[in-house]
Chains A and B, each alone.
Chain A
Amino acid sequence: MGETELSIILLSARVAFTAILCALVPAFAVAWLLARREFPGKGVAQALVTLPLVLPPVVTGYGLLILFGSKGPLGQLFENLFGISFAFRWTGAALAAGVMAFPLLVRPIRLSLEAMDQGFGEAARTLGASRLTVFFTVTLPLALPGVIAGAVLGFAKALGEFGATITFVSNIPGETQTLSLAIYALLQSPSGDAAALRLIAIAIALALAAILASEYLARRLTAGGRV
């Protein structure tokens, strides 16, 4: 494996990990709201969450460009508040990957919350646990398989994200050129086939490893009586 290939993989991993780590907490919050609370406009909220899944990725990428570009309202807000800029940077690639992976994170978490017997929470409260304690000792551990499933699905999606990323932050080697973008660039040049095949093999290996790791984790964490 060459140095460029390694840097492409490292960049892709950084983008995908950042995307999932940042998206996980809001995804859990949204999943919890959708599963446990009734509020006006719930249907619209549900549709908005699912939107990146069904919208052409190019449209999502363009939307991000409008909102989070250097002149976009949210882009300027982040620049001023946290000093984070997204335009044509790897952080932008992570944002695009996170937004595209968001529906995939929310869905399994929401399903696991909906399947959970709320009586467990009730029982925990009568045993003296506050709402917050119930969340950390009962709700979260019981939703963990859903969280892991979501995180793995989302990670795979983030790793392979293409359309929104290339639209939002372009294809800059060393900065925004993730695995899929690099494969695409190589396939565009007449002599890039061999290099592209190597990256494709790596992509397949990474995807398989992610699935196996998640299955192993899910089995360990759902085995009864471990805590």
Chain B
Amino acid sequence: MSVLKKFREKWKPVFRPEFRKNNELEHFRDSARSGSALCVDIRGRAGSFEIETAFQAGAGVTALFGPSGAGKSTLLKMIAGTARPQSGRIVAGGRTLFDSATGTNLPPEKRGIGFVFQDARLFPHLSVRRNLTYARWAGRRPASRAFDEVMALLGLEDRLDAAPATLSGGERQRVAIGRALLADPALLLMDEPLSSLDKARRNEILPYLEAIRTEAGIPILYVSHETSEVARLADTVVLIENGRVADSGPAAAILARLGLAAGSDPDEAGVILEGRVVDTDPSYHTATIALGDDRIELTGNGFAPGMTVRLRVRAGDVAIAIAPHDRLSIRNQLPAIVAEIRRDGAFATVALGFGGQQLLARITAKSADALDLQPGGRVHALLKAVSVEMARVEKPRPALTSASSPR
């Protein structure tokens, strides 16, 4: 127990909102970044194939990304303690959760981990409120996070007395997230929390997840096979294939590499860019975003100059022109240099470099030939403002420092 207590003391600044404004937290975040909050190096079995995975995860959202059946969920279970690896080590926040060498294997209830399941798993016989506070009355976890604050964060104030069966899919998942947060976790594991929802519901939940990324202040491990979710939420991506780490690094870099990788879904290929709002035009509901030295204009309300934003630009939404056009509805025309062209059948994915960042454009092979695109060639990348997804980021992400937004 004393180990657990020490652990709690150490993590206190993260758990307790009142410590947030303190520098202690900033200090902690920095140390978590450099020292990494979660360290996994395990071998085990998941059904028919072997898992042999080693990765580290620091502050922010780390996405375990890869095709279905790659062993991501099993990996998460092993970290949570509901499945047992054959050998290896799992350390979270300086505390050893599993170590085959010393025979350490903490039971799930002692690991201090919050788990959000794909299917929510709300206890059907308990009210929403009793579900949310389960960790406190059944798990004896301390009430370190203010209940009302979490409810406000997730917009659940009105549904507390409802039965889980009467909730919508999105509400159910929000309760599951709140329940995990209120369990006082040092690490939050999310196993495809959006995959059981339709597209409209996903878009309803995503802003809450973004809020949690900023507010919770704990490392989040997020399992997904959806590029769009990973692009919107992840700071770091660990690519899992057949139970092994195929690649890992900052989200933007990995997703850009994935965009050109054969076999990944071409329709989902794209890049994430980070930029800064420099101007807004309320009469047209537009915002001007600085991406390095370049400027683009996008639609959206609620943005103010100085904000850092994250953009997701799908390869299919980027067109290429040899020269700028002024008699065109597309106003965002970025001068760029062709970095690489990869052909697949009728299509070609073109990597474009501009101001130290990268864009992907998916065009037809015929267009690529007609424009005579060659690596090193100067072109203009055309971005339709309406097709770019823009989300606000609270603070600059170390993973995305390539976006030169001075702060």
Q: Using a CB–CB distance below 8 Å, which chain A residues touch chain B?
A: 117, 119-120, 122-130, 133-134, 137-138, 141-142, 222, 224-227
Contact = CB atoms under 8 A, between A and B. Distances in A.
B126 A227 contact: yes
Pick the most buried of B82, B162, B165, B180: most chain A CB atoms within 10 A of its CB: B82
B183 A125 contact: no
B115 interface: yes
Contacts of B82: 122, 125-126
A130 B139 CA distance: 7
Contacts of A130: 107, 109
Nearest to B135: A127
26 contacts: A117-B121, A119-B119, A119-B121, A122-B108, A122-B117, A122-B121, A124-B139, A125-B107, A126-B81, A126-B113, A126-B180, A127-B109, A127-B141, A127-B180, A128-B135, A129-B138, A129-B139, A133-B138, A133-B139, A137-B138, A141-B125, A142-B125, A224-B127, A224-B164, A225-B128, A225-B161
B125 A128 contact: no
A120 B138 contact: no
Contacts of A227: 125-127, 130
B135 A224 contact: no
B108 A224 contact: no
Contact of B141 (A125, A128, A134): A128
A119 B161 CA distance: 23
B163 A127 contact: no
Given A122-B108, A137-B138, A128 B163 contact: no
Contacts of B81: 125-126
Contact of A123 (B115, B128, B130, B163): B115
A226 to B, nearest CB: 8
B258 interface: no
A138 B141 CA distance: 17
Interface in B176-209: 179-180, 183
Interface residues of B, number: 35
A75 to B, nearest CB: 42
Q: Which 7 pairs from chain A and chain B are nearest by CB?
A: A128-B139, A224-B163, A225-B163, A225-B127, A125-B108, A126-B115, A127-B135
A120 B126 contact: no
Interface string B70-89: 00000000001110000000
A126 B128 contact: no
Contacts of B162: 225
Given A122-B82, A124-B134, 14 more contacts: A120-B123, A122-B121, A123-B121, A125-B82, A125-B107, A126-B180, A127-B141, A127-B180, A133-B138, A142-B124, A224-B166, A225-B161, A225-B162, A226-B125
Contacts of B285: none
B114 interface: yes
A74 B111 CA distance: 47
B140 interface: yes
A129 B117 contact: no
A128 B185 CA distance: 10
Contacts of B161: 225
Contacts of B113: 126
Pick the most buried of B125, B134, B165, B179: most chain A CB atoms within 10 A of its CB: B125
A113 to B, nearest CB: 14
